[in-house]
Structure 1
Amino acid sequence: MAGKSKAILFGAGDGGLRVHYMLSQQFEVIAFVDNDTSKQGSTLLSKPVIAPQAIASFEYDVIIIANIHGKAVYKQLTEDLQINKENIIDYYHNQMLDERIATLRQVADEIYENGVRGNVAELGVFQGEFAKYMNESFYDRKLYLFDTFSGFNEKDIRIEQAGHHSDSRTGEFENTTVELVMSKMAHKDNCIVKQGYFPESAIGVEDTFAFVSLDVDLYAPILEGLKYFYPRLESGGYIFVHDYNSTRYQGVKKAVREYCKEHGAKYVPISDLCGSAVIMK
């Protein structure tokens, strides 16, 4: 390990695993840290998973943020734990998200160059981090934003648990608001917020679509999203399905494979965090 910087990875899930494999030639990972108390005290890749407060007991060079909650984690590290910002790398937002965004922009270019009609939509907006890039890339098209804005629905969680797809809980990802999402949009006049349970929230929408992002994590809403949007996808259009290769949300892959097999749809995985599947019509 001589010559390698010692790193602690903040995120003991898919992000942490991905960063570990990508950066193992550059860093010696000495521990994972996670806010999830159920993970603390366990090991991941033979490394301890610790609570944030235990960071001070380790000798390290950098802390690498490897999950989607980068801004909150950065604030926690710098303000609550008083860790020097020079020792923190937000790898997810600086690198991993870039792969998905770069693919989005390339796909947008293809859509415009090929004259593909239709508007755009995201099902599962959360805090609008990906939707804002959709809004920028499709600057002259309506962007439908579908979300409960109250986290996972109890009905979907029951299906998730019955199928042993994930350990998700009702209300997860509720820490968002319409106002927060809209504050990130460059072309606000193009945005149409559809708050509520999908697909009921889509009643009255008559549009066809050139690009759709499905980021709802769970088996049932992913399947419902495909059932709704794929028939309404224009020829030459794309659907991104996030978390296709997630180790936590295993129902996503099941839903994609079931739907695509039944309807003859083709897809290819891309190597962003948790591995999106890209479906083209």
Structure 2
Amino acid sequence: MTYLLARVENFSRFDGENLSADPVMGYGRSGKVPHEIHNFSVASDGFIYGYLPKEGGGDLSRLGGNRGDAEASNVTVIFISSGVLCGYYRNATVLSHPIKHPDNLEAGSSPIYCRVKVQPENAFLIPAGKRHDELQPRPPGQFPVLYGNEDSAWVGWFEGLVAGIQQTFRSEKKRRKWTNSVERSSKARAMALHKYGLRCECCKITHTDNVRASIFEVHHKVPYAENFETRQLKISDLAVLCANCHRMIHRMPDVSDVNALRAYLK
């Protein structure tokens, strides 16, 4: 397997949002919109297209391909921001020449050209609040893109780290699937409303009539570490939220943390 290591700006979601964190790269601090702004956005054709800085990554002979090939497959692309892992692609396809983003996306007023193509299920973004793992050993120099293989020291560090991350992703996918079945259950909703009343646990909005009370939904707040597939559903697992707060909490880094959303809304 071959690897590409790319230095990028520190976006929370990489799906077109404004640069909210303190910029860590020179071009981010300059006020220019970084071209990796959409590196985790799903395009209209169902793929994710990734920008690599300074059009790096084009030497396909170092990625398992041959000179003259149009693309190289089965490449792991690792994104670091100020040395810290923020996301990666598995089984990605790297193109010999960058292509214009199929949805004609722009960074500011400049067209975005992408060199990497990957299925969304093979793109893994570390939540912004959980980006703490710094690349070890950190390669010297100010490189935009670095090639690697199984013998590279930083590749060994990466593979050891993501073994645990992958387990977390798999656990979270299962948790979401199980949680959705609970949250859409009329029985669970009735049980939670009877226990907690017609009041949002986060924003505290309340209604007493049945028409306006239809905005209230049930949120399942089992922590990630729980054995949620085998444990019996408890009333303490559930929270009553208004539809707006329910949408917001599912965008939080930890969807089980009602207190974090409540603090955010203050």
Provide TM-score, normalisation by structure 2: 0.25
Rg (Cα) greater in structure:
2
Write 1 or 2 for the structure with the bigger share of helix: 1
Please, what TM-score do these two structures have when normalized by structure 1?
0.24
